[in-house]
Structure 1
Amino acid sequence: MQTLAAGQKQRSMGSVQFLPVNLFGAVMGISGLSLAWRQASKLFGTSPVIADIIGIVAVLMFIALSIGYISKWVLYPQKVVGEFTHPISGNFFGTITIAILLLSSVLGTYSQLLGQAFWIFGTATTLVLSFVFVSRLLKGNQEPGNAVPPWLIPGVATIDVSVAGGTMPFPWAHEINLLSLAIGGIVALVFFTLIVSRLIHQAPLPVGLTPSMIIMIAPFEVGFLGYTNIMQRIDQFASILFYFGLFLFIVLFFKVFKKSVPFGASWWAVSFPMAALSNAALKYAMFVQSWLLIAIAAVILALVSFVLIVLFIRTLNILFNGKLLNG
């Protein structure tokens, strides 16, 4: 009877073969939120315990998803290969390396050695992944309709090397950060242009990809964070990156957050770009010390926190009712 009950539970929960790689976007978003609340403790005087709790959630989620996806790789390797080679879903493998890079900053608060190890591993895998995906696209014969916002993920992942690596003590870290910012910045700029052209001249995105439009703000806000880390200052170019990302977010917010877009794992695509915007807004507000920018940073942080709480609860709901892993 116990075996039968376990089998029924497994069927009701679904199968690990249907675990989508884009769920690692949840680790990105929650890690980014932890870093944002860490900054908020400096700007608003909030308790750093909030950042600690959110960081623990991010680490636990990364461990659970890693176990799940490695199990999928071992048991259903053809499914993983199919995802990786897909012209759209393959880009979401960048969420794994970004998650590792962001966790290096989260963990580095408690253990420098652990944070550095995560950053080195995340940097190596990110650069390899960026090479693979750029090489794949340059083979030609790409469908114009496949130029969608997830294309930006491998490029943004490379920029994240400099975001997480700004405090790395290694003598070679500065050059690696520059290399990564150069690769990610130009790749993201080129892909952003192609994606905007596709959005303007072709049919609207499928409903399931609608949340991914928020990814389009990531090159500017992550670029702001990476650039200011390397330059160790906020200049006018950094301000332009921040403000355009903020403007684009406002434009896209009303296109994405609509009741007509059904909930699914794809909604986690909004989490990290919004968390990056929050981190950028907090950093910029601390630099400018304007009451208006401080208020904007507070509103964005509250909005991101609310959105991620809703995403977390709704994801658990579809996990336990069997909709998340039912294929």
Structure 2
Amino acid sequence: MPETAPDAAKPDPRIKHFPVAFFAVIMGLSGLSIAWEMAQATFGMPLDMAGALRWLALGLFGLFSVMYLIKLFLFRDAVLHELRHPIQINFFPTISISMLLLSATLLSSLPGLAAVFWIIGTAVHLLLTLYVMNVWMHHDHFEIHHINPAWFIPVVGNVLVPIAGVPLGHLELSWFFFSVGVLFWLILFAIITYRMLFHQPLPDRLMPTFFILIAPPAAGFIAYIELSGLAEAGALDAFARVLYYSSLFLTLLLLTQVGRFVRLHYYISWWAYSFPLAAVTIATLIMYELTGLLAFAVIGWTLLSLVTLVVIFLLYRTAVAVGGRSICVPHL
């Protein structure tokens, strides 16, 4: 009678290795939905790309939430490992940020549901920000090579709160979160720049997170326009310009290095390309609305085309990776 392999030899269920970073997919789809919604309104386009992307993002958010709850219920230790990991811990706020972005996509069609997503997303994001910062402050194992642009996600993600928060009537709370995000954007940007210049390069699987550098000034610009009332006034001030042009320069800087990025093997971290590009696209379309300059319309259309193609390609590569069982596997 043939011997049976011991249970220990059986591979782990794939759900055990479902990464919290998967919620970056929702960020990318939601950001692209907002970008298309703005383009449709600005240029009077009849098609509703924004609506299709909104419902796709909402459906995937529900699916991913159920999957991660199953992981939490069946493999609690695996979730705790992510919560203590110096890199993976920073992706937990992608859950709350996804809710904040979904809130922004739902404002025009389902404001009641948008308010629910915003309230829960804001509360969860504050708790996650406090948790992650406590871990940062009292750790005993982090080293300089652990820091990467993904560290922006927990604290700098706070600048996204005003995007739906101001239209929903939460002005002072939105200023609170915006202030936290801008403060720590400056602090972390200095630390990450130091790491890039004077320490070893990022490993390949984290290289796409360089695009996260675009998101804080781009999203900060969008939030500041809401907070300051500049959209209603149809004007810009100096701080808004600094935020926008910072994001535009960082976009140009990273696009000049496209050859490095296309040679990378697919990782779920590739989704870091999507939301930052969507954010700078939205910011550019706002610049066109406020200035009327044709250059911003051209840049906005170029970026919108680029981020749309990027998201389509990422959806394809992710589906291939899931079908080929090369995702949701143990990290070597």
Q: What TM bracket, shorter-length normalisation?
A: over 0.9
Structure 1 position 95 matched with structure 2 position 94: yes
1:253 alignment partner in structure 2: 255
Contact kept? 1:23, 1:265, Cα under 8 Å: yes
For residues 149-228 of structure 1, the aligned pairs below 5 Å read 149-169=149-169, 173-228=170-225
- How far apart in 1 are the matches of 2:27 and 2:13? 24
Q: Which moved more, 1:140-149 or 1:60-69?
A: 140-149
> Which structure has more RCO (C-alpha within 8 Å, separation ≥ 6)?
1
Structure 1 residue 323 and structure 2 residue 326: aligned?
Answer: yes
Asked if 2 retains the 8 angstrom alpha-carbon contact of 1:212 and 1:270, the reply is yes
Distance 1:13 1:137, change over 3 A: closer
Q: Distance in 2 between matches of 1:62 and 1:272?
A: 15
Alpha carbons 2:208, 2:261 under 8 Å: kept:
no
Cα deviation, residue 165, structure 1? 1.1
Contact 1:13 1:321 in 2 (8 A): no
Mapped partners of 1:14, 1:296: distance in 2: 45
**Identity score, percent:** 33
Matches for 1:1-327 after TM superposition, within 5 Å: 15-47=14-46, 49-139=48-138, 141=140, 142-169=142-169, 173-233=170-230, 234-255=236-257, 258-327=261-330
- In 2, Cα distance between equivalents of 1:174 and 1:22: 30
Superposition deviation, residue 259 in structure 1: 3.0
Deviation at residue 140 of structure 1 after TM alignment: 5.5
3-state DSSP class of the match of 1:179?
helix
Q: Cα offset for 1:139?
A: 2.0
The runs of at least 4 consecutive aligned structure 1 residues that moved more than 4 Å come to: 11-14
CA distance in 1, matches of 2:319, 2:217: 31
Contact 1:108 1:115 survives alignment (8 Å): yes
Letter in 1 for 2:257: K
Query: In the alignment, what sits opposite 2:4?
Result: none
1:231-261, CA deviations, whole angstroms, 9 ceiling, x for partnerless residues? 0113121111111111111112233553321
Q: Take 2:107 and 2:11, find their aligned partners in 1: how far apart are those partners?
A: 39
* Equivalent-residue separation in structure 2 for 1:81 and 1:48 (angstroms): 44
Contact residue 14 and residue 322 of structure 1 kept, 8 A = no
What's the CA shift for 1:13? 12
1:103 partner letter: L
Larger mean CA deviation between 60-69 and 138-147 belongs to 138-147
Provide the TM-score with structure 2 as the length reference: 0.91
In 1, are the aligned partners of 2:26 and 2:98 still within 8 Å (CA)?
Answer: yes
Question: CA shift at 1:14, angstroms?
Answer: 6.1
1:152-195 alpha-carbon deviations (Å, 9 max, x no partner): 001222111112212013xxx11100100011110121111101
- Which structure 1 segments of 5+ residues have no match? 1-10
**How far off is 1:296 after superposition?**
0.3
Question: TM-score of the superposition, structure 1-length normalised?
Answer: 0.92
Q: What is the alpha-carbon distance in structure 1 between the residues aligned to residue 302 and residue 12 of structure 2?
A: 37
* In structure 2, distance between residues paired with 1:18 and 1:201: 33
Say if 2:28 and 2:311, in contact at 8 Å, map to a contact too: yes
Deviation at 1:17, TM superposition (A): 0.9
**Offset from partner CA, 1:192-247 (integer Å, 9 cap, x none):** 11011100000110011000000011110011011111001131211111111111
Shift of 1:31: 0.4
Question: Take 1:164 and 1:201, find their aligned partners in 2: how far apart are those partners?
Answer: 39
Native 8 Å contact 1:37 1:48 kept in 2: no
Aligned residue pairs total 314
> CA separation in 2, counterparts of 1:291 and 1:255?
27
Range 38-47 or range 238-247, more displaced: 38-47
Aligned alpha-carbon RMSD (Å): 1.7
Q: Is the 8 A contact 2:148 2:192 kept in 1?
A: yes
